[in-house]
């Protein structure tokens, strides 16, 4: 445990490992490899922002990828001793496949049937509960974690990674059962519920596609009206593939459709965005 914590608290070593991993894959150091499926679904807001955010977060995704490899290698009894070199460390868990990981996690699924669709006003007061939120560096992120704690349904979840072209996408559904995936989103304004529902649906399609589930359940909670909406439907694999392909095209330099001006004004990447010049014309 001590060696693992030392490894993942050493940013310089993680950067060196990521560089070596790209060399092993014969990928240019500037090319994006590790990203999250949450970035792919964020294209419903803006495809360019989704790609820029993924590039900024690549070291974090790679770190999670490596941690999961080490964890499941240990669970599967294939990690006999701690690797002494970076090259050996990257070889850990290379033969592990998703089916082995799911076999470990499946006992936690339970026999949960797909609940009915609902539209309900929640009686819980979002401001009544005070607690520290770890892993969130913005007030927006803290509100999201708090809303999920208070209003999301409870299912088992686990993280794994999936290859797609040159990419490795990290995935962690809000819930997974034998039959369906679950995704929860929250927002402050009811008028944006439709957008949040669309993003949740895309993300659930991506999870269903990679985790091999037929059905999806999405929920959106909005704090101004305290309403939680639930929708059930089949996983749309074609939609998942469409978003994956578009993400790859934009990352490769294709200019996506311009988002609404108000989205640019609230974007963290507006100063460095390649779409800035097109917006000014």
Residues 76 and 128 in one domain: no
Is 266 among the domain residues?
no
- Considering the domain architecture, whether residues 227 and 136 belong to the same structural domain is answered as yes
* Model pLDDT for residues 89-140, shown as the tens digit of each residue: 999 999 999 999 999 999 999 989 999 999 999 987 776 666 565 655 666 6
Q: Could you give the number of structural domains in the chain?
A: 2
Closest alpha carbon to 211 in 242, 180, 241: 180
Q: With respect to residue 277, please indicate whether it lies within any of the assigned structural domains.
A: no
Residue 137's pLDDT is 61
Q: Is residue 272 part of a domain?
A: no
In a domain, 269, yes or no: no
Would you say residue 187 has pLDDT above 60?
Answer: yes
pTM score of the predicted model? 0.93
Q: pLDDT at position 267, please?
A: 87
- Name the 3-class secondary structure at 276: helix
Q: Which residue has the higher pLDDT, 254 or 2?
A: 254
Q: Clarify whether residues 72 and 153 are in a common domain.
A: no
Let me know whether 81 and 126 are in one domain.
no
Q: Which residues of 2-25 are buried (b: 16+ CB within 10 A; e: fewer)?
A: eeeeebeeeeeebeebbeebbeee
Q: Are 192 and 250 in the same domain?
A: no
SS3 of residue 80 by DSSP: coil
Share the mean pLDDT of the chain: 92
* Spatial distance between the Cα atoms of 69 and 86, rounded to a whole number of angstroms: 14
CA distance 106 to 100: 10
pLDDT band for position 6 (cuts 50, 70, 90): confident
What are the pLDDT digits (tens) for 149-172? 999 999 999 999 999 999 999 999
Q: pLDDT at position 134, please?
A: 60
Residues 84, 64 share a domain: yes
Structural domain contains residue 205:
yes
Question: Which residues span the domain enclosing 128?
Answer: 110-157+173-241
Task: Based on the fold, state whether residues 182 and 87 are members of the same structural domain.
Answer: no
DSSP state, residue 122: -
Structure tokens at 24: 């092993």
**201 within a domain of the structure (yes/no):** yes
The answer to whether 238 and 218 have CB atoms below 8 angstroms apart is: no
Q: Are residues 229 and 248 in the same domain?
A: no
Whether 80 and 132 share a structural domain: no
- Domain assignment of residue 168, yes or no: no
């Amino acid at each position: 445990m001590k060696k693992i914590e030392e490894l993942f608290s050493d940013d310089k070593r993680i950067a060196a490992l990521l560089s070596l991993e790209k060399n092993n894959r014969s990928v240019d150091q500037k090319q994006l490899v590790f990203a999250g499926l949450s970035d792919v679904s964020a294209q419903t807001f803006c495809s360019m922002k989704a790609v820029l955010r993924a590039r900024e977060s690549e070291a974090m995704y790679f770190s999670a990828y490596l941690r999961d490899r080490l964890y499941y290698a240990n669970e599967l009894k294939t990690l006999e001793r701690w690797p002494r070199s970076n090259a050996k460390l990257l070889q850990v868990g290379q033969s592990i496949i998703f089916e082995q990981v799911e076999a470990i996690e499946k006992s936690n699924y339970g026999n949960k049937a797909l609940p009915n669709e609902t539209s309900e006003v929640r009686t819980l007061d979002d401001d009544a509960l005070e607690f520290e939120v770890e892993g969130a560096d913005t007030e927006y992120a803290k509100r999201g974690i708090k809303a999920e704690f208070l209003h999301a349904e409870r299912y088992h979840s686990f993280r794994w990674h999936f290859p797609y072209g040159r990419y490795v996408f990290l995935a962690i559904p809000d819930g997974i059962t034998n039959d369906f995936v679950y995704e929860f989103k929250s927002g402050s304004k009811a008028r944006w519920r439709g957008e949040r529902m669309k993003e949740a649906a895309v993300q659930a399609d991506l999870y269903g596609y990679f985790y091999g589930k037929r059905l999806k359940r999405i929920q959106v909670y909005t704090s101004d009206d305290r309403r939680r909406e639930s929708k059930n439907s089949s996983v749309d694999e074609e939609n998942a593939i469409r978003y994956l392909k578009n993400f790859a095209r934009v990352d490769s330099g294709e200019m996506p459709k311009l988002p609404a001006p108000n989205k640019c004004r609230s974007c963290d990447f507006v100063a460095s965005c390649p779409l800035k010049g097109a917006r000014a014309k």
